Amino acid sequence: MPREGLMTSQDVSRYLRCSVTTIRRLAGKGAIPHFRLGKLVRFRRSEVDAWLNQHHEGEVPTDKTREPLQHPDQLMMFGHEVGRDI
């Protein structure tokens, strides 16, 4: 089994698209799984992914083929306007 590398706070902040300060604050509170090696803090990507799954809110749409909702003020493409037949 290949060994999984560890990520720094900066790596995790880029991965999650948030600030390094946010990652350090979460690690300091013990809210995100991490390793402390003296003053160094490291994260395992699989544990960060599992943590994300545990903190997921809302529902993921299952039907990706659903048509977008039409609004009466929205103009249709290809010369068709709402409420007007061509």
Mean pLDDT, residues 44-70 taken together: 79
Cα–Cα distance, 55 to 57 (Å, whole number): 6
The strand pairing partners of 27, in sequence order, are none
Cα–Cα distance, 22 to 27 (Å, whole number): 9
pLDDT of the residue at 85:
52
Q: How far, rounded to the nearest angstrom, does the alpha carbon of residue 58 sit from its chain's CA centroid?
A: 12
Which domains does the chain possess? 6-54 (3.90.105)
Residue scoring higher pLDDT (20 or 82): 20
How much is the pTM?
A: 0.64
